[in-house]
Amino acid sequence: MRLYIICPDCDRKVYLAVTARNRHELMRKWSYEFNIETHPGRIYKYNVDKVRAERSGRSTGTGALVGGLVGLIGGPIGVAAGTGIGSLWGYNKDMDEQAQVDYFNSIWVK
C-alpha cells in the first residue's frame, strides 16, 4: 500500500515517503497539516484527510512467478503445483492489501 496526494498543478499523484495504516497514524507522524513540495519551489499545504491510499502493485503476478520458480525444483508436476499455490498466495496478498487500502480511505480525521 502506498499513500499519495494529488498535485494541484498537474493533477498527478505525488507519492509520500511515509507509511501509515490510517490517517490518525499519519497525523501522529506528520501532524494534521503538512507541506509538500510537489515540484521544485512549489510548496503546498495539505492535511491528512487529503491523503489517499492505493495498492502498491500487481502482487498476483509476483506470487505466480515465485510459486513457479519454487515448483521448478520439483520437476514438471512441481511446476504446475507451484504456479497454482503461488497464484493463490498472490491472490490472498492482494485481498489483504485491498482491505488495508479500504481501511485507510474510509477513516477521516475531521
| Closest to 104 in 3D by CA, of 9, 16, 8 | 16
Which of 2, 4, 7, 91 lies at the binding interface for Zn ion (CB under 5 A)? 7
C-alpha cell at position 99: 482491505
Query: CB of residue 1 vs Zn ion: minimum separation in angstroms?
Result: 22
Name which of 51 and 64 has its Cβ closer to Zn ion.
51
CB closer to Zn ion, 9 vs 37:
9
- Residues 10-49: x where in contact with Zn ion by CB under 5 A, - otherwise, as a string: x---------------------------x-----------
In sequence order, what are the beta bridge partners of 34?
A: 46
Separation of alpha carbons 81 and 10, rounded Å: 46
Query: Is 89:63 a contact under the CB 8 Å cutoff?
Result: yes
Instruction: Decide if residue 80 touches Zn ion (CB under 5 A).
Output: no
